[in-house]
């Protein structure tokens, strides 16, 4: 039995806390970044920030601790840890030797700008270029985003009709989602199987983090790329923006986002671009950790068509009302295909199909999460959404393979023993 490798994606705050203090301070020079970080804070942490936003002097730590009741001390300690780890506030010694808290001045000034207005425009609107003769509406942008993202997923499942750029194929290999051997085409890995069963929002966030990691290794400006992503998340869907004033590095980044489906640009040299729904929702709701041991709770992105088409019956039959080749391939990862009609596919969940999926690195919780998040509206009316018979049996089939527990050890060979 192989040791299962877990696919885990850091949430926004976990990712930022791993960055160096210098990078964080540079990030907070952009109002869009400050607003995005503030938006993802817990309600109590948001309350702390707003209370101190217009204070120029440090507050005693004992006074801040009085803002919550004694039975909420754990919540207070967690907020202090998050705000300190993100460098949103600093400890400062007051007169008399007391310790106090004061907001990061860079973060404070730029959050004020984002909330109250002022400063320079975050992005140049395309209105400076005049009306677009090839303007795109929201429906066409949604279709484009889904089409581009599904090309990547089709490439991962080995569809012969899906082709991606060499840079993107290399990124999939470096992210551990695919594996490439000398002279052979890349093929999907255990982590890649787990990645395919995530919802679109989780896939996008995980993929973006992997891209930023490789981009930083190639010498691209991480602060510039992250700031641009946060700016996109506050863009208006259906409105065009100008590329005027962008650096060469940022223009390269824009082309990669175009291939991911996060922005639409009619031609590579076009002077305007349209953010898609994928980009606008990328930095929203990403505070939930995605792992193979816990079910991600992010909602599917509207317009991606990956929700509301699966019916599961107590006889282990799955009815998938879809024409999407990708969704059919995903269902086939953990079930046996029985029949296929023009608008519906019938499959059977079996012990062999589930255990084969588990052998490929997919967990029972991921299978259940996939079925639940894509449940047909008729199934959503019942409680629980999935029949307990099905969910319990899938977990039991997984336990049949987990009869061994692996523990890391150190092996000592040829150790001489001194005579007593």
Q: State the sign of the Cα–Cα–Cα–Cα dihedral 158, 160, 161, 163.
A: positive
CA 195/CA 249 separation, integer angstroms: 28
Q: 292: pLDDT confidence band, cut at 50, 70 and 90?
A: very low
How confident is the model at residue 349, as a pLDDT?
97
What's the average model confidence in pLDDT over 343-347?
95
Using the predicted structure, report yes or no on whether residue 2 has a pLDDT greater than 60: no
Using the predicted structure, report yes or no on whether residue 287 has a pLDDT greater than 50: no
Residue, of 124 and 173, whose pLDDT is higher: 173
Average pLDDT for the chain: 85
Q: 77: pLDDT confidence band, cut at 50, 70 and 90?
A: very high
Using the predicted structure, report yes or no on whether residue 290 has a pLDDT greater than 60: no
CA distances (Å), 402 to each of 6, 321, 365, 396, in order?
15, 33, 14, 10
How confident is the model at residue 254, as a pLDDT?
92
How confident is the model at residue 330, as a pLDDT?
87
CA 361/CA 376 separation, integer angstroms: 26
What's the average model confidence in pLDDT over 349-358?
93
How confident is the model at residue 192, as a pLDDT?
87
Using the predicted structure, report yes or no on whether residue 301 has a pLDDT greater than 50: no
Per-residue exposure over 12-45, b if at least 16 CB sit within 10 Å of its own CB, e if not: bbebbbebeeeebbbbbebbbbbbbbbbbbeeeb
How confident is the model at residue 283, as a pLDDT?
67
pLDDT digits (tens, 9 = 90+) for 387-414: 999 999 999 999 998 777 778 888 888 7
Q: With pLDDT > 90 as the criterion, what percentage of the chain qualifies? A: 44
CA 385/CA 383 separation, integer angstroms: 5
How confident is the model at residue 258, as a pLDDT?
93
CA 263/CA 232 separation, integer angstroms: 9
How confident is the model at residue 4, as a pLDDT?
52
Which of the residue ranges 17-21, 64-68, 110-114, 180-184 would you say has the lowest mean pLDDT? 180-184
Using the predicted structure, report yes or no on whether residue 296 has a pLDDT greater than 50: no
Using the predicted structure, report yes or no on whether residue 302 has a pLDDT greater than 50: no
Q: 419: pLDDT confidence band, cut at 50, 70 and 90?
A: low
CA 366/CA 198 separation, integer angstroms: 7
Using the predicted structure, report yes or no on whether residue 3 has a pLDDT greater than 60: no
pTM check: above 0.85: no
295 alpha carbon, distance to own chain's centre: 13
Packed helices 166-174 and 138-156: angle between N→C axes, nearest 10 degrees: 60
Give ∠ CA 52-110-106 in degrees, rounded to 5.
75
Using the predicted structure, report yes or no on whether residue 33 has a pLDDT greater than 80: yes
361 alpha carbon, distance to own chain's centre: 20
Per-residue exposure over 382-395, b if at least 16 CB sit within 10 Å of its own CB, e if not: eeebbbeebbebbe
Using the predicted structure, report yes or no on whether residue 288 has a pLDDT greater than 50: no
User: Within 13 Å and on the Cβ side, how many CA atoms surround 224?
Assistant: 15
Using the predicted structure, report yes or no on whether residue 75 has a pLDDT greater than 80: yes
Residue, of 417 and 350, whose pLDDT is higher: 350
How confident is the model at residue 298, as a pLDDT?
34
* SS3 of the chain: CCCCCCCCECCHHHHHHCCCHHHHHHHCCCHHHHHHHHHCCCHHHHHHHHHHCCCCCCEEHHHHHCCCCHHHHHHHHHHHHHHHHCCCEEEEECCCCCEEEEECHHHHHHHHHHHHCCCCCCCCEHHHHCCCCCCCCHHHHHHHHHHHHHHHHHHHCCCCCCCCCHHHHHHHHHCCCEECCCCCCCEECHHHHHHHCCCHHHHHHHHHHHHHHHHHHCCCCHHHHHHHHHHHHCCCCCCCEECCCCCHHHHHHHHHHHHHCCEECCCCCCCEEEECHHHHCCCCCCCCCEECCECCCCCCCCCCCCCCCEEECCCCEEEECCCCHHHHHHHCCCCEEEEECCCCEEEECCHHHHHHHHHCCCCHHHHHHHHHHCECHHHHCCCCCCCHHHHHHHHHHHHCCCCCCCCCCCCCCCCCCCCC
How confident is the model at residue 308, as a pLDDT?
86
Using the predicted structure, report yes or no on whether residue 265 has a pLDDT greater than 70: yes
């Amino acid at each position: 039995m192989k040791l299962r490798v877990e696919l885990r994606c850091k949430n926004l705050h976990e990712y930022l806390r791993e960055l160096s203090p210098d990078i964080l301070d540079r990030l907070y020079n952009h109002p869009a970044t400050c607003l995005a970080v503030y938006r993802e804070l817990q309600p109590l942490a948001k309350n702390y920030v707003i209370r101190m936003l217009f204070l120029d002097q440090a507050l005693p730590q004992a006074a801040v601790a009085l803002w919550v009741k004694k039975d909420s001390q754990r919540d207070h300690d967690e907020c202090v840890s998050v705000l300190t780890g993100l460098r949103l506030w600093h400890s400062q010694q007051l007169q008399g030797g007391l310790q106090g808290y004061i907001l990061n001045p860079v973060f404070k000034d730029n959050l004020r700008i984002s909330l109250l207005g002022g400063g320079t425009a975050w992005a140049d609107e395309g209105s400076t270029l005049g009306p677009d003769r090839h303007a795109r509406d929201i429906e066409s942008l949604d279709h484009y985003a889904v089409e581009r993202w599904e090309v990547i997923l089709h490439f991962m499942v080995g569809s012969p009709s899906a082709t991606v750029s060499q840079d993107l194929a290399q990124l999939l290999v470096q992210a551990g989602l695919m594996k490439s051997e000398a002279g052979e085409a890349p093929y999907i890995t255990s982590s890649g199987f787990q990645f395919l069963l995530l919802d679109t929002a989780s896939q996008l966030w995980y993929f973006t983090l992997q891209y930023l990691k490789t981009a930083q290794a190639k010498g691209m400006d991480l602060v510039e790329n992250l700031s641009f992503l946060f700016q996109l998340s506050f863009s208006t869907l259906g409105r065009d923006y100008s590329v005027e004033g962008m650096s060469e590095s940022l223009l390269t980044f824009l082309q990669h986002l175009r291939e991911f489906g996060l922005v639409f640009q009619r031609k590579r040299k076009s002077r305007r671009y349209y953010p898609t729904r994928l980009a606008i929702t990328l930095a929203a709701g990403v505070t939930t950790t995605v792992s193979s041991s816990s079910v991600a709770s992010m909602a599917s992105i509207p317009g991606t068509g990956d929700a509301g088409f699966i019916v599961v019956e107590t006889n282990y039959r799955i009815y998938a009302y879809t024409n999407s080749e990708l969704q059919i391939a995903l269902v086939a990862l953990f079930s046996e295909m029985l029949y296929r009609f023009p608008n519906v596919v019938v499959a059977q969940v079996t012990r062999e199909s589930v255990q084969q999926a588990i052998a490929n690195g997919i967990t029972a919780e991921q299978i259940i999460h996939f079925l639940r998040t894509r449940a047909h509206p008729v199934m959503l009316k019942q409680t629980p959404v999935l029949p307990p018979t099905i969910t319990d049996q899938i977990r039991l089939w997984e336990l049949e393979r987990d009869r061994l527990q692996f523990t890391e050890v150190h092996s000592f060979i040829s150790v001489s023993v001194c005579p007593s």
